Structure 1
Amino acid sequence: MRQTWRWFGPQDLVTIDDMLQAGAEGVVTALHHAPVGALWTAQEIVRRQEELSLTRAGNPSGLKWQVVESLPVSEDIKKQKGDWREHLENYKVSLRHIAEAGIDVVCYNFMPVLDWTRTDLRWKLPTGATCMRFNYADFAAFDLFILKRSGAEKDYPEETVDAAKDRHCAMNDDQRAALARNVVFGLPGAAEGFSLDDIRMHLAEYEAVSEDRLRSNFIDFLGEVVPFAEELGLRLCCHPDDPPFGLLGLPRVMSTENDYRTIMDAVRSPANGITLCTGSLGARPDNDLPGMIDRLGERIHFLHLRNVKRETGTVRGSFHEADHLDGDTDMVAVIAAVLREERRRKADGRVDWSIPMRPDHGLDILDDLERHAQPGYPAIGRLKGLAELRGIITALSHPVEGLLA
C-alpha cells in the first residue's frame, strides 16, 4: 500500500516538511483554486508539481503528485443542464493534461450540490481532542428551520422533527449561523462556497432529477470519459456519498455496494474504478467493508482509511469521526482484505498492484488544536492515524503473522 498524504497547496497549514516528517511516500492534491467546470491547464498542473517538490529550505522533497483528488464534476454535468457539454469537454482535456504530467489516478465524486456534510467541524471529545461530527437532529434543524426547504418535514420521522425543533429553539443566532456555515462548508479546499440561496437554487433544479435520472446522467458521463481515460492510461475512481444516505431531498447513487456494482457493470473498464472510503461507507451499518474489498477489489484504485463511530443503529443517523482503530469499522479486517487483493494483483502481474492509500481525516490533538488547519486534516491527528495503520500493515505483512493463525 502506497502511503500518501493529502495536501491543499501552498496555503495549507500542514506543510511539505510536515508530510516528509510523517513519512509520506506521495502526495494527493488538486488545483483547488480552479473553478469547477474549468479547464486544468498543463502549466497549472506543472506548477503544482513544482510547489510540492521543494521543502521550506528549498531542498528537493522527493515527493511526487500521485493521485488527483479531486477533479470535480460540475453540477451542470450532473444535471445535464447549462454548460454541461463545455464542462465535459474541459474534463476530458484536463484528463489529458493530468496524464501528460505522469499522474495516473484521478478521484472524483458524483454527490449532488454538497460534498461531505457535517454539522460540527470541531466537536469536543472527552479527551479534549476535537473531531468532525454529523448530528442528524442538528442537520434536520438546519433543513427545516434555517434553510426552510419546502416539504422537508416529510423526509424525517416525527421524533426527529420534534428533536430538531427543540435543538433550533435552544440555539442562539450565532449558533444557528455556525451550523449553517458547517453544513454548507462544501468541498474541502475548493475555490467556491455555497450560500443558502445557492443551495436553494440548486435544490430547485434538482427537483426534476430523480435517483434514476442522476444515475443515468452518471453513466452518460462515464460513457464519455472512461474510454478516453483508458486510452490515456488513467484510472478514475469514484468516492462514495458522505454521508451515504439522502440529504435535502437530493438523490444519492454511490452509497452502497449495489450502487458501486451497478456503475461498474454499466461501464466495464479498468479505468472505471472505486475510491473505497471506509469512513463514508462505514457510516452505514449495512455496508460490509471487508466483503466489498473482496468482491469489488479489482476495481479499487484508491483507499481512504478512516473510522467513524455511529451513534445510532439506523441507516440514517448521527456519527462522529473516531481514531483510526477505534470506530465501528474493523480496520484490521479491512487492511487484511486489501493486502489479499494486492497479493492477487501482484500474482497476476498488474502494474497497479500497490494501491495508494491515505490516512483520511483525523482528530485534532496536541498542537493541532491551535493550528486550525483545514477541518478534518490536522497534522498530528493524521500522523497518529498513519502510524496506527502502518502498524497493522507491518504486522499483517510480517512472516511471523502466519505462525499465529
Structure 2
Amino acid sequence: MIEGWRWYGDFDRISLGEIAQTGASSIVTALHEVPYGEVWTRDVIATRRNQIQRAGFSWQVTESLPIHERIKRGDGDLTELFANYRQSMANLSDCGIKVICYNFMPLLDWTRTDLNAPVATGATCLRFSLPKMAAFDVYMVERPGAEKDFTPQDLAAAKVWIDQSTPESREVLTNAIMAGLPGAYERYDAPGLREALKPYEGMTHSDLRANYSRFLSEVIATAEELGLVFAVHPDDPPRDILGLPRIVSCADDIRWNLAAVDSPANGLTLCAGSLGANPANDVPAIAREFADKIHFAHLRNVRKDPDGSFEEAAHLEGDTDMVDLIRALLAEEKRRTTEGRKDCSIVFRPDHGHEMLGDAAKQTHPGYPLIGRLRGLCELRGVIAGQA
C-alpha cells in the first residue's frame, strides 16, 4: 500500500517539508483555488505536480476534481460544464495523475457540528451531533418541514440546545457545519444557507441518482480513453442532510453506483470513516465485496452513539475493525499482483486525525492536523507491516 497525505496546496499551513518527515510518499491534493466548473489547465496542474515532485513526492490521486452544483441538480444546458470537466480530466492525465476522487453530495461536503470536541486523552476531535444538527436545521435555518426528518427525541434535545445557546455558540455551530467546504469556496450563514437550499427543493433520491448516472455517462468513457479511474467518495455523514438526498451511503448504494456505468474506470474511494458512521455498514465486508473497484482509501475510524451522533476515534480504536479492513485491502493488492495488473498498489491516507500536542497552534484545516494524522499514519503503518 502507498502512504498518501492530504495537502491543500497554498491553503495549507503544513509544508511539504513537514510532510516529508512523516514518511508518506504520495501527496493527495487538488487545485482548490480553481472555481467549480472551470478548466484545470495543463500548465497549472504541471506546476503543482513539479512542486510536489521537487519535494520528493509523487502525485497519483487528485482529491477532488469537484462537480458543479448545476450538474448535481441537472440544471439547464450542461454542455459547457461537462466539456470543461472532460478537459480537466485530459489535462490531469497528460500530467500523469490517473486517479480522480470525487463526491456527489449536493451543496455541502463532509459535515460536522463540532470541530474541537474533547476526547479522554486531552486531544480534540471532529464530531457530528444529531441534536445540534436538528437545532441548526429546525431553529436556525428554519427549513420548511425540517421537523419531519427528526425523531421526537432528536427534536426535544434540539430544543434544549437552542434554548441554552448564545449568539456565539450558534455562530460556532454554523462555522463548523461550513468547515467541510475546502479551499476558496463560498460559506453561508444560516439565512444564506436557507436561500442556497431553495434550488434543491423537491429533489428526491431518484432525481439525484438520475443526475449522477448522467454525469457518469458523460465522463467514464473519456476516463477509459485517457487511462483514468474515478473513485466516488461515500457520503459523510451517510444520511440525508438539510433535506438534501444522499445516494452513496451503504453497500446497496455502492452496488447501484458501480452498476450505473459498468466499467473498470467507475470505482470507489473506500472511506472507512464515512461508511463506518452508518450502523448498517460492515466496512471490511464492503471492502471485500467491492475490492476490485477500490482505487483509493481513506483509513480513519469513528465511534457511534445510539442517537445517530458520532465522533472521530483514534485510527485503531473506533467501531470499525481496522486490522480486518487492512487485511482485505492487502488481499486485493495480492490478487491484482497475481493477475499482473498495473494498479496493484492502493494509495491510502490517514484521515481526520485528533488535534493533539502542538496541533492547535498550527490552525490547520479542521480534521487535518499534522501530529494527529502522523499518529494515525504510524498506527496504520504498523498494522500493514504486521500483515507482511
**Pairwise same-fold verdict (TM > 0.5):** yes
- Pairing 1:205-284 to 2, within 5 Å after superposition: 205-284=199-278
Question: 1:9 is matched with which residue?
Answer: 9
1:96 shift after superposition? 0.3
Residues 35 and 192 in structure 1, CA contact (< 8 A), matched pair in contact too = no
SS class of match (1:132): strand
Unpaired segments ≥5 residues, structure 2: none
Aligned partners of 2:133, 2:66: CA distance in 1, in Å?
25
- Structure 2 partner of 1:149: 143
State the partner residue of 1:77: 71
Indicate whether 1:395 and 2:367 are aligned. Answer: no
Seen in structure 2, the aligned counterparts of structure 1 residues 281 and 33 have a Cα distance that, compared at 3 Å, is same
Listed as ranges, the matches of 1:102-113 within 5 Å are 102-113=96-107
Partner of 1:48: 48
Match of 1:34 in 2: 34
**1:281-312: CA deviation from partner (whole Å, max 9, x where unpaired):** 00011101111111111000000000011022
| Contact kept in structure 1, 2:45 and 2:95, CA below 8 Å | yes
For residue 324 of structure 1, what is the aligned residue in structure 2?
Answer: 315
Q: 1:63 to 1:30 in 2, by over 3 A?
A: same
For residue 186 of structure 1, report the CA deviation from its aligned partner: 3.5
Q: CA deviation at 1:48?
A: 1.3
Partner of 1:403: none
Alpha-carbon separation, structure 2, partners of 1:83 and 1:172: 44
Which whole-Å CA distance do the structure 1 matches of 2:359 and 2:350 have between them?
A: 16
Which of residues 139, 150, 155 in structure 1 aligns to 2:133? 139
Which position in structure 1 is the counterpart of 2:181? Answer: 187
Query: Cα 1:190–1:11, aligned 2, differ >3 Å: closer, same or farther?
Result: closer
Shift in Å at residue 82 of structure 1? 4.2
Equivalent pair of 1:130/1:365 in contact (CA under 8 Å) = yes
Aligned to 1:56: none
| 2:350 aligned residue | 359
Cα distance in 1 for residues equivalent to 2:225 and 2:196: 34
Task: Name the Cα RMSD after superposition.
Answer: 1.2
> In structure 1, how many angstroms separate the alpha carbons of the residues matched to 2:318 and 2:355?
16
- For residue 230 of structure 2, give the secondary structure of its aligned residue in structure 1: strand
Q: Tell me the amino acid that sits aligned with residue 214 of structure 1.
A: L
2:164 aligns with one of 159, 167, 170: 170
Distance 2:295 2:226 in 1: 16
**Is contact 1:235–1:272 with CA below 8 Å preserved after alignment?**
yes
Deviation of 1:116 (Å): 0.3
TM-fit CA distance, 1:64: 1.8
Q: 1:46 to 1:107 in 2, by over 3 A?
A: same
For 1:209 and 1:89, the matched residues in 2 are separated by 25
Q: Distance in 2 between matches of 1:82 and 1:184?
A: 27
Provide the aligned length of Structure 1 versus Structure 2: 388
State the AA in 2 paired with 1:263. Answer: N
- What's the TM-score, normalizing by structure 2? 0.97
Residue of structure 2 equivalent to 1:96:
90
Say which SS state the counterpart of residue 290 (structure 2) adopts: helix
Deviations 1:23-68 (A, max 9, x none): 0111000000111111111111112123323xxxxxx422121110
CA displacement at 1:204 relative to structure 2? 1.7
Q: Which of 330, 333, 337 matches 1:339?
A: 330
The AA in structure 2 aligned to 1:148 is E
CA distance in 1, matches of 2:158, 2:167: 16
Match of 2:19 in 1: 19
SS at match of 1:65: strand
Q: What is the aligned partner in structure 2 of residue 57 from structure 1?
A: none
Runs (5+) with no aligned partner, structure 1: 54-59, 398-405
In structure 2, C-alpha distance between the alignment counterparts of 1:2 and 1:151, rounded to whole Å: 46
Letter in 1 for 2:294: I
> 1:376/1:263 Cα in 2 relative to 1: closer, same or farther (>3 Å)?
same
- In structure 2, the CA distance between the partners of 1:47 and 1:195, relative to structure 1 (3 Å rule), is farther
Of 266-275 and 191-200, deviating more is 191-200
Residues 11 and 183, structure 2, Cα contact 8 Å, conserved in 1: no
Summarize the Cα distance change of 1:202–1:83 in structure 2 as closer, same or farther, 3 Å threshold: farther
| SS of 1:10 mapped into structure 2 | helix
In structure 1, C-alpha distance between the alignment counterparts of 2:116 and 2:76, rounded to whole Å: 37
Indicate conservation of the 8 Å contact 1:4/1:24, yes or no. Answer: yes
Residue of structure 2 equivalent to 1:400: none
C-alpha displacement of 1:198: 4.2
**Amino acid in structure 1 at the alignment position of 2:32:** H
Structure-2 separation of matches of 1:186 and 1:133? 12
* Deviation string, structure 1 residues 203-258 (Cα, Å, up to 9, x no partner): 22212321001001101110110000110000111000000011111111100011
- Between the aligned partners of 2:265 and 2:61, the Cα distance in structure 1 is 14
Alpha carbons of structure 1 residues 215 and 94: separation in structure 2 relative to 1, 3 Å: same
Query: What is the percent sequence identity of the aligned residues?
Result: 48
Deviation at 1:197, TM superposition (A): 4.2
Give the deviation of 1:85 after TM superposition.
2.7
SS of structure 2 residue aligned to 1:237: strand
Question: What's the TM-score once normalised by structure 1's chain length?
Answer: 0.93
Secondary structure of 1:145's aligned partner = helix
Residue identity in the other structure for 1:26: S
